[in-house]
Amino acid sequence: MKILVTGGAGFIGSALIRYLMQGTAHHVLNLDKLTYAGNLESLRSVATDTRYEFVQADIADQPSMVALLARFEPDAIMHLAAETHVDRSIDGPAAFIQTNVVGTYSLLEATRAYWQALPVERRDAFRFHHISTDEVYGDLHGADDLFTETTPYAPSSPYSASKAASDHLVRAWHRTYGLPVVLSNCSNNYGPFHFPEKLIPLVILNALAGKPLPVYGDGLQVRDWLYVEDHARALFKVVSEGRVGETYNIGGHNEQKNIDVVRGICALLDERVAERPAGIENFASLITFVKDRPGHDQRYAIDASKIERELGWRPAETFESGLRKTVLWYLNNLDWCRHVQDGSYQGQRLGLDHSQLLA
Ligand code: NAD
C-alpha cells in the first residue's frame, strides 16, 4: 500500500510512521505543516528509507492537497494532523478551528475528488482513516462508566469540540458521498518523543531541572493511559482490517489519577537518577498543586472491547512497564529534549531545505 500520513512529524504520527517503516512493507508519504509540535528529529531512524517521503504542507491548503494526492496516489490516508494541546486551545482557539475543522474539511474534499476518479477496484479498497480522541465524549461521572463507540458526544474544551466537529464531518462524507472511512477514538497516549508541554514529559524534564512539578487542582482527574507504540499498532489494524463506516475506541485499560502518574515518575527518577538537583532529597518534593484548568474533565476511560473482539488488538504494555520505558527513554535522549527546549529542532530540520520540499 501507499499510505499518506498527515501530522506524521507529531508524537503519534511519528510513532505510526516508525511502525509502518519497521513493521510493514508499505510506502509512506508524511504530510506535515511542521507547526511547533512537528519534529523531524523524531523520524531520524527512517528518514533515509526509500519507502519514506516527507512533504511540508498545510491540510487546509486544498489545491496543494489535490496536487499531492494526484502525485502520490495513496491507497489509504491516515489523518492525524491537528492542533492538540488543550491549554493552547483555551488561550487561542482559532488555530484549532482552522486546522481541526477547516483543515479536515479541505482534506476530505480533496480526497473525495481523488477517490471518485479512481478505477473501481482501487475505489473499493481505498480507506480514509480519521484519528480522534476520547475527549469528544466529555466527562465520565460514575466510577464504573466507560466510553463506548455509541456514547453521545459532549466535548468540554475548544480542542475536543474541534475534534468532535471533524469526526462529524468525516462521518457525513461517508453517509453523503460514500467515502470509505474508518474512525478511531483513543485515550491519552504517552511514550518516547512526546512534546514536553504534555504532562509526562513535562514532569520528567522539570524534575531533572529541579523545577516545580505542576499538578492541576487536586490531581484526582483520571485518565486512561495508552503506550504510543500500542496505539500505532492499533491504528494499522484499524486502517487495514477495520469495517468501513465504523468507529473503534482504543484504550489501554490503564486508569490512573494524574497525581499518581506524577508520583510514579518521581519514584522512577528517584531510583534511576543519582545526582539530584540542589536541595532536593526526593523528586516528589517538587510537586506543586496549581489552579485547575477551566472546564477540566474529571475522568476519561475507554471500553476497548470492540477493537479487541473484531480486530484482535490488545495493548502490550501495562502502565508500569510503559512508564518505566518512557522515563528511561527521556533519560537516554536528553539531546532530543534539549533541541526541543532550545528551539533548534525547528531550525535545521535535518538539513532539509523546505523551499525545495515545497517546490
Ligand atoms: P501532535 O500535536 O504531537 O502532532 C500534530 C502534528 O500535526 C504536528 O506534527 C503538526 O506539525 C501537524 N499539524 C498541525 N497542523 C497542521 C496542518 N494544518 N497541516 C498539516 N500538519 C499539521 O499530536 P499527537 O499527540 O501526535 O496527536 C495526533 C492525533 O491523534 C491528533 O489528531 C489528536 O487529536 C489525536 N489524539 C491524540 C492523543 C494524545 O494523547 N496525544 C490521544 C487521542 C487522540
Residues of the chain below pLDDT 50: 348-359
Distance from residue 10's CA to the centre of ligand 1 (Å): 6
Report whether 100 contacts 26 (CB < 8 A).
Answer: no
DSSP, res 39: -
* Residue whose grid cell is 518505566: 324
Distances (CA, A) of 311 to 51, 68, 145, 242, 307: 26, 31, 23, 7, 5
pLDDT tens digits along 188-232: 999 999 998 889 999 999 999 999 999 999 999 999 999 999 999
58 Cβ closer than 6 Å to some ligand 1 atom:
yes
Is residue 184 a part of any domain in this protein?
yes
In a domain, 332, yes or no: no
Q: Residue 246 is part of a domain; what is its CATH number?
A: 3.40.50.720
Q: Is residue 159 part of a domain?
A: yes
Q: How far apart are CA 286 and CA 257, in angstroms?
A: 18
* Number of domains within the chain: 1
Residue 357: per-residue pLDDT: 33
Query: What domain range includes position 28?
Result: 2-194+225-253+299-318+346-351
On whether residue 97 sits in a domain, the answer given is: yes
pLDDT at site 350: 42
Q: Is 80 in the pocket of ligand 1 (CB under 6 A)?
A: yes
Report yes or no on 204 lying in a domain. no
- Residue 81 CA, closest ligand 1 atom number: 7
Amino acid at 162: S
Query: Model pTM greater than 0.75?
Result: yes
pLDDT of residue 144: 82
Residue in this structure with the C-alpha cell 465520565, named with its chain if needed: 140
**From ligand 1's centre to the CA of 85, what distance in Å?**
9
Structural domain includes residue 48: yes
pLDDT value of residue 352 = 39
CA 65, CA 50: separation in Å to the nearest integer? 22
Residue 312's Cβ-side half-sphere holds a number of Cα atoms within 13 Å equal to: 2
Q: Give the separation between CA 214 and CA 203, rounded to whole angstroms.
A: 8
Span from the CA of 70 to the centroid of ligand 1 (angstroms): 24
Q: Which atom of ligand 1 is nearest to the CA of 190?
A: 40
Ligand 1 pocket check for 140: Cβ under 6 Å: no
Q: Would strands 226-227 and 189-190 be described as parallel, antiparallel, or unpaired?
A: parallel
For the annotated catalytic residues, the residue numbers are: 134-135, 159
Q: Does residue 195's CB lie within 6 angstroms of at least one atom of ligand 1?
A: yes
Residue 46 Cα, ligand 1 centroid: separation in angstroms?
19
Is 53 contained in some domain? yes
- pLDDT, residue 278, reads 87
Provide the b/e sequence for 132-147 (b: ≥16 CB within 10 Å).
bbbbbbbbbeeeeebb
Q: Is residue 263 part of a domain?
A: no
